[in-house]
C-alpha cells in the first residue's frame, strides 16, 4: 500500500446571522431579529474577496494537477442560506469545484452551534440537517465530521461515532498531546472506530495568521520554504493537517499580500521539494493506521491560546445567555413550528456568544473581526432582548395547542 506522507488541507466556511439592534421596547412587538443590511454587505464583500476568486483558483488548480490536488470543506447551513439569498453564484462555483472530484465536503452542525456541549439530541439533529444539506447541494453523503470550531472531547467523539462517522477533525492541542505529534492518526478513547485528524496549528497559522505579518521572522513566506517546513514536520509522522478559515484567503490575508499566488504555486513546490501528496480527511483515515487513542476528558477547540471553550463560555454573560437559550430546547421541539425552529437554530450560532467574550489576549484581533458590537456587554444585552421576545413567542405558540 502507498505510504507517502500526506498534506490534508481543510477550510471552514461560515458567516453568522448577525442580529439587528433590538431594544427592550421591541420585546413583544418585533419578531424579526436580523440585520439584513450587515449580513448582505459582509457576505457580498467576502464572496468577492474570498469565495469567488479562491474557488476559481482551486478549480484551475484541480484542472492543472488533476486528482493529485485535493482539499476539504465544511460549509455551514447558516452561510449556505445567506449565499442562496445574496450570492447564489458562489454556490454555483462550489458545485463546479465539487465536480472536479478533488474536494471532500465534511459534516458539521447545521448552524455552527455549541449544541455538542449541552444537548446530545439537539447535536444529532443538527448534524443530520447538515448532512442532508450537503447531500442536496453536492450529491454526496459526508463521511468525515468536524465540530464547530473543532470542539472535541471523548464523549463528543463517541457521539459522532454513533452517528456513523469514521473520521473526525480536531485541534492538535499541546496540553492534550504532550510529547506526541499531531502528524499521526489517532482514535477516540471511547470508540476506537472513530479516527482523529489533528490540526498542525503551527504550520496552519503560518498561513492563516502570520502570512502578511512583516514582523514575523518567517516573513516573507514563499512556497519552497513552506514545502521544506512541511517535509521536515512530517519526518515525525504521516500527515500534516492544515486546517483554517476559508476567509484566510483574500479577507484575513488580503490579495495584496500575495496569498493567492502562494496557494497557486504551493502544489508545484510540494511536488518538486517533497515526496508528499495531497489527500482528503476520509482518505487519510483510510490510508494510515492509528498510533494510539487520544484522551480528551474536557472539550478542546482551535480557539485562543487555551484551546478550550472559554472563547464562548468563559464568563457569566455567556453562560447566562447559553443556559437560558438551551432551557428552551424542549419547548421549541414541542411547539413544532417551522419559523420558531429556524430562529432557534440561528440563535444557537456560536458567534453570538463569541461577541460576548471579555478576554483579549493573543487572539484579540480575531475576536473583534466581523464583530458588530463595541463591547461584550452590548452583545449580551442585545442578545438577551432578542431571546426574551423569542421566549414569548414560544410560550404563545404552546398555549395555542
Closest CA to 278 of 44, 31, 58, 71: 71
Query: Cell for 94?
Result: 462550489
Question: What is the rounded CA–CA span in Å between residue 132 and residue 108?
Answer: 11
Q: How many CB atoms lie within 10 A of CB 255?
A: 14
Query: Cell for 92?
Result: 454555483
Q: Is the Cβ–Cβ distance between 350 and 318 less than 8 Å?
A: no
Show the CA angle centred on residue 380, arms to residues 375 and 382, nearest 5°.
Answer: 95
Active-site positions read: 149
The DSSP bridge partners found for residue 244 are 11
Q: How many CB atoms lie within 10 A of CB 247?
A: 22
Question: What is the rounded CA–CA span in Å between residue 364 and residue 371?
Answer: 11
Give Cβ neighbours of residue 143 (< 8 Å, ≥ 6 apart). Answer: 104, 165, 166, 167, 281, 282
Show the CA angle centred on residue 311, arms to residues 132 and 21, nearest 5°.
Answer: 75
| Helices (H), ranges, 108-187 | 120-138, 154-162, 174-177
Closest CA to 74 of 109, 45, 46, 124: 109
Show the CA angle centred on residue 254, arms to residues 249 and 256, nearest 5°.
Answer: 125
Question: For residues 165, 171, 174 and 177, what is the CA-based torsion angle, rounded to 10 degrees?
Answer: 10
Q: Is the Cβ–Cβ distance between 230 and 242 less than 8 Å?
A: no
Question: What is the rounded CA–CA span in Å between residue 263 and residue 244?
Answer: 13
* Cis-peptide into 382, omega within 30 deg: no
Query: Cell for 197?
Result: 485528524
Within 135-229, strands assigned E span 144-146, 167-171, 185-188, 195-199
Question: What is the rounded CA–CA span in Å between residue 149 and residue 304?
Answer: 11
Amino acid at each position: 500500500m502507498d505510504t507517502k506522507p500526506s498534506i490534508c488541507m481543510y477550510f471552514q466556511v461560515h458567516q453568522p446571522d448577525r442580529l439587528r439592534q433590538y431594544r427592550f421596547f421591541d420585546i413583544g412587538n418585533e419578531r424579526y431579529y436580523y440585520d439584513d443590511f450587515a449580513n448582505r454587505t459582509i457576505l457580498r464583500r467576502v464572496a468577492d474577496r474570498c469565495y469567488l476568486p479562491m474557488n476559481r483558483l482551486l478549480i484551475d488548480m484541480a484542472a492543472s494537477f488533476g486528482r493529485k490536488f485535493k482539499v476539504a470543506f465544511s460549509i455551514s447551513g447558516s452561510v449556505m442560506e445567506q449565499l442562496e439569498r445574496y450570492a447564489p453564484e458562489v454556490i454555483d462555483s462550489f458545485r463546479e469545484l465539487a465536480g472536479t472530484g478533488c474536494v471532500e465536503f465534511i459534516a458539521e452542525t447545521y448552524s455552527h452551534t455549541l449544541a455538542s456541549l449541552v444537548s446530545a439530541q439537539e447535536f444529532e439533529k443538527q448534524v443530520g440537517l447538515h448532512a442532508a444539506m450537503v447531500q442536496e447541494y453536492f450529491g454526496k453523503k459526508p463521511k468525515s465530521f468536524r465540530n464547530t470550531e473543532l470542539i472535541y472531547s471523548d464523549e463528543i467523539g463517541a457521539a459522532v461515532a454513533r452517528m456513523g462517522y469514521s473520521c473526525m477533525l480536531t485541534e492538535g492541542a499541546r496540553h492534550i498531546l504532550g510529547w506526541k505529534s499531531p502528524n499521526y492518526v489517532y482514535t477516540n478513547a471511547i470508540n476506537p472506530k472513530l479516527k482523529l485528524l489533528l490540526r498542525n496549528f503551527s504550520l496552519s497559522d503560518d498561513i492563516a495568521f502570520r502570512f502578511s505579518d512583516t514582523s514575523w521572522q518567517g516573513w516573507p513566506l514563499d512556497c519552497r520554504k513552506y514545502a521544506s517546513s512541511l517535509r521536515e514536520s512530517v519526518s515525525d509522522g504521516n500527515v500534516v493537517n492544515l486546517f483554517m478559515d476559508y476567509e484566510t484567503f483574500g479577507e484575513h490575508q488580503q490579495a495584496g499580500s500575495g496569498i493567492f499566488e502562494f496557494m497557486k504555486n504551493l502544489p508545484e513546490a510540494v511536488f518538486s521539494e517533497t515526496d508528499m501528496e495531497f489527500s482528503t480527511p476520509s482518505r487519510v483515515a483510510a490510508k494510515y493506521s492509528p498510533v494510539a487513542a487520544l484522551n480528551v476528558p474536557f472539550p478542546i477547540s482551535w480557539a485562543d491560546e487555551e484551546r478550550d471553550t472559554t472563547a464562548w463560555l468563559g464568563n457569566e454573560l455567556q453562560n447566562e445567555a447559553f443556559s437560558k437559550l438551551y432551557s428552551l430546547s424542549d419547548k421549541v421541539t414541542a411547539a413544532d413550528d417551522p419559523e420558531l425552529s429556524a430562529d432557534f437554530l440561528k440563535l444557537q450560532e456560536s458567534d453570538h456568544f463569541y461577541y460576548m467574550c471579555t478576554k483579549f489576549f493573543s487572539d484579540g484581533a480575531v475576536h473583534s473581526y466581523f464583530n458588530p458590537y463595541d463591547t461584550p456587554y452590548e452583545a449580551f444585552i442585545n442578545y438577551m432582548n432578542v431571546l426574551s421576545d423569542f421566549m414569548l413567542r414560544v410560550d404563545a405558540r404552546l398555549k395555542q395547542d
